[in-house]
Structure formats: C-alpha cells, structure tokens
Amino acid sequence: MDNDNQISIETVYSLKDIAQLSGVSVATLSRYFNGQKVRRSTEEKIKEIVDKTGYTPSIAARFMRGRSTGVIGLIVPDISHPFFSMIAEGVMNEARDNGRLVLCGSSSGSREVEKRVIRQFSQSILDGLIYIPVGEAEDIPAIETFRNLPLVVAVRLNIFKNVPHVYHDGEKGGYLATKYLIQLGRTRIGFVASFWSPPCTNEELLEYTNAHLAGTFSSIHRFKGYLKALEEAGIPYDPKLVAVTTYSHQAGVDAATALIGRFTNCNGIIAMTQIVANGCVSRFKSQGYKVPEDLSVIIFDSNKQKADYAYTNVELSLVEMGQIAVRTLDNLIKGKKANDICIDVTLQVRETTSFLHPRENDETI
C-alpha cells in the first residue's frame, strides 16, 4: 500500500477542543466557521489549529441547532436505470463540488415504496430535496408541507404548485425530430407515444393533448412538437400514424404491428425510448423494412446510452439536468426564489436516419 495515498482520520475534535488548542472561544470559532468576520490575528490562530487537526464541524450537532448540514436528498424511481443514474451522477458531482453530501434513495418503481422513502427522508437531516416521482401519472403523492424543506422536482412537469421543476423541452424535441424527418423527405411519420399507463386511446390523443396543455406527460409535450412541425410543413395530421402504448420492448412491437396493420405507408418513426424503438424496428425489419433506407427512426435519449443501433436521437442532457437541479435547490436553500427550468434539447443525427455519423463508444469499468 502506498503511503502517499493513506487517508487516516483518527481523532475526532470538537469545537471545545479547538477552543482549548487555539485559545479562541467556541462562539468566535463558530462564527468563523459560519463565515462571519473575525480579527486577523484570531483567524490565524484558528487556521493553524484547524490545519493541524483537520477539524470540521459535526453535521449532526449543527443540524440539531437548526442549521444547514450540507446534506441534500435525491429520490429517484430506479437508480439502476441509466436514465436516472445519469441524472444522479450530475447531482452527485455538482453536490460534491459544492461541499454537499447526497442522501440517495431509490423507490424501485413503486409508489408504495416511494412513500416509505419519503417518510424516511423526512425524518432525516436534509437541507433540501431533489425529487423525481415514479411514473408520470396523476397519483403522485402531494408533499405539500414537507417540513418546509426546499424541494425541486426533476424530469416531471407540473407536479406541485410553488415548487420549481427541472425538465426537458419536450415540445421542441418533438418538433426537431419531426422537422428533420420531413427534411429527409419522410412525410408518413409514425408517432409512438408511450405512457406509464395510457390515459387515452390512439384516436383520443389529439383531443387529450388539446385538453391537457400543461400536463405531466412527456409524450404529450413531444406530440405537440410533432403536430407543430407537421403543420408548418403543411402535412395534414393523420391519426392512423399514431400509436399510444407503454414503455416496454413489447409495446414497441405492438405499436409497429398496429402501424403496419393500418397500411399507413409509414416511413419514419418517432419513439420515446430506445427500448420501444428496438421493438418497433425489430417488427418492421421482420416485414422486410430496412433502417434507415426504408424507415428513419428517431428516439429521445441520452448520447451515452448504449443502443442496439446508433439511433438518431433528441439528446436529453441528463448529467446536466442533475447539475441544474442542484443549483436550483441551492438557490432555494439560500432563500432565493427559483422558477421552473426548461432544459434545451438538440438533435443528434446518427445511423438510423443517415450513415454520416459513425458510432462512438467508450467505457471503462
């Protein structure tokens, strides 16, 4: 073992110890550690001892006195899912670089578990909480009075009033994807809308969208962009090109089956996730379609995800979303007002719409 790398933290010092050693009172020390001004000479006395002892204030004790602890919470539906773990990476990086710690809980995709996690967290020592609710449905638990804890919601929209939400610009994403496909000459673009649990049928999607302009569903927002691009290009909306489904591989297969069965002449697909797209593509391929020659495919995803194909995708910057969530929470903790933040998206053209961009892939374990 390398001695240079040795990190050994043996003794735990208290403010009293430091007071003893430095000859400065605990009060002054406390003020110093909380950023108040002290005389030059006392500062030097303090610094010397702090360097020598490696002292840092006890999180627990300062929490007991009702002060900030530097710990923020993060609740995600499933930390093993790359979508959320990337956001978590952003959260943890940003938090770490600001001297904060992250208490992280996974709700395992279950509303019930989520409630338990929230309960556990609530009796904890948090300065604030970043919360990604399970699913996109309507039965999200209202944490209206979460012990006055500064709260930021990520990924989802319109969950709580007076709470900042950090989310991607779904409408722009749908618009960019559709517009690009149109530019490629595709006019029969299938829209595969995925829902945790579908609130409407294929035929009702347009109606539902118009009725829920500020809804929580990402598919709906993206669908709005799809409609906008079609309209701009003068392409009439054809409900036959829409498939309302869920988020599984099979859902993608089913959606493709439906699109094929309706003889829509579909030559483009916009799918919400990679897995759904995989299902679609495999179904279309079994019908003799070639990607991207006969069918262009665009998904919503993060660049870093590993896919069966190098999908052209609407890039969802996930690590960045985590960072932004932490910064937003920071503002809230500092008493500033924070608004919803809609994160911009860009289109990344890759193999499923052209051959121009080779796949890049790199990882280490």
Partner DNA sequence: AATTAAATGATAAACGTTTACAATTAATTA
Partner DNA sequence: TAATTAATTGTAAACGTTTATCATTTAATT
Which residues sit at the interface with DNA, rule CB under 7 A? 12-16, 23-31, 33-34, 37-39, 41-43, 55, 57-58, 61-62, 64-67
Closest CA to 53 of 6, 5, 112, 12: 12
Residue 26's binding partner out of a second copy, DNA, none, with CB under 5 to 8 Å set by partner kind: DNA
Residue 89's binding partner out of DNA, a second copy, none, with CB under 5 to 8 Å set by partner kind: a second copy
Residue 38's binding partner out of DNA, a second copy, none, with CB under 5 to 8 Å set by partner kind: DNA
Beta bridge partners of 192: 243, 271
Residue 264, number of CB atoms within 10 A of its CB: 17
Residue 5, number of CB atoms within 10 A of its CB: 6
| Strand 312-315 with 296-301, pairing | parallel
Please count the residues of the chain.
365
- Tally the C-alpha atoms within 13 A of residue 340's C-alpha that lie toward its C-beta: 15
Residue 235's binding partner out of DNA, a second copy, none, with CB under 5 to 8 Å set by partner kind: none
Report in angstroms how near the CB of residue 128 gets to DNA at its nearest.
17
| Strand 312-315 with 346-348, pairing | antiparallel
Report in angstroms how near the CB of residue 256 gets to a second copy at its nearest.
15
Q: What dihedral angle (degrees, nearest 10) is formed by the CA atoms of 21, 24, 27, 33?
A: -70
Residue 28's binding partner out of a second copy, DNA, none, with CB under 5 to 8 Å set by partner kind: DNA
Report in angstroms how near the CB of residue 145 gets to DNA at its nearest.
17
Please say which residue, 66 or 335, places its beta carbon nearer to DNA. 66
Classified as helix, coil or strand, 26 is helix
**Class of residue 55 by CB neighbours under 10 A (exposed 0-12, middle 13-18, buried 19+):** buried
Closest CA to 234 of 199, 187, 189: 187
Report in angstroms how near the CB of residue 234 gets to a second copy at its nearest.
33
Please say which residue, 42 or 110, places its beta carbon nearer to a second copy. 110
Report in angstroms how near the CB of residue 238 gets to a second copy at its nearest.
27
Report in angstroms how near the CB of residue 104 gets to DNA at its nearest.
24
Residue 364's binding partner out of a second copy, DNA, none, with CB under 5 to 8 Å set by partner kind: a second copy
Beta bridge partners of 102: 72
Report in angstroms how near the CB of residue 148 gets to DNA at its nearest.
14
Residue 313's binding partner out of DNA, a second copy, none, with CB under 5 to 8 Å set by partner kind: none
What is d(CA 191, CA 237) in angstroms, rounded to the nearest whole number? 11
- Tally the C-alpha atoms within 13 A of residue 44's C-alpha that lie toward its C-beta: 3
**203-217-297 Cα angle (round to 5):** 70
Please say which residue, 53 or 305, places its beta carbon nearer to DNA. 53
